[in-house]
Amino acid sequence: MSSASETAEQRFRSAFERLKANQPQVLPRGTQVSQNNVAKEAGTDPTALRKARYPALIREIQAWIDINGMEKAVQRERQHQRKHAKEEAATTAKRLQAQRDHAQAELISAQRLVLELLEENARLRARLDDLLPPPTPFLNTG
């Protein structure tokens, strides 16, 4: 895992880089970066990575955690917004489908009524023709 000439700080830095790249050798993939996990990935006890001994490395780890934590929060917010937009689109689609179905039903009812009125009109015209003889053409005798 590490060579004999590698310093403890180098082992911690290598472990930190592996965790950031999600390529750990000791811990399972997907392990979050933390000060303790960096020490464990380096093959040491978590208490070995102390701020007093490795202040610059600890600041780098903490900065990475802070930045990555903000990125994850932004990603979660975007994911939430996409989910909300998708749900909203599905609700809108259902509402529009219901409106379409209602409009189709209204149209069919109106068409049926028009047909009924046309039939009634034809029936009444026929009855009127039976009751009143058609007008005779005016003959001009001149």
Q: Does 75 fall in a domain?
A: yes
Asked if residue 141 has pLDDT above 70, the reply is no
Q: How far apart are CA 120 and CA 24, in angstroms?
A: 85
Q: Does 119 fall in a domain?
A: yes
pLDDT of the residue at 3: 52
78-128 residue pLDDT tens: 899 999 999 999 999 999 999 999 999 999 999 999 999 999 999 999 998
Q: How far apart are CA 87 and CA 76, in angstroms?
A: 16
Q: Does 35 fall in a domain?
A: yes
Q: Which of 60, 47, 69, 67 is nearest to 16 (CA)?
A: 60
Q: Does 111 fall in a domain?
A: yes
Q: Does 140 fall in a domain?
A: no
Query: Cα-atom radius of gyration of the chain, to the nearest Å?
Result: 42
Q: What residue type is 78 in one-letter code? A: R
Q: How far apart are CA 26 and CA 22, in angstroms?
A: 11
For 6, list phi and psi in degrees, rounded to 5. -75, 135
Q: Residue 112 carries which DSSP code? A: H
Q: Does 139 fall in a domain?
A: no
Domain that holds residue 53: 8-130
Number of domains into which the chain is organized: 1
Q: Does 2 fall in a domain?
A: no
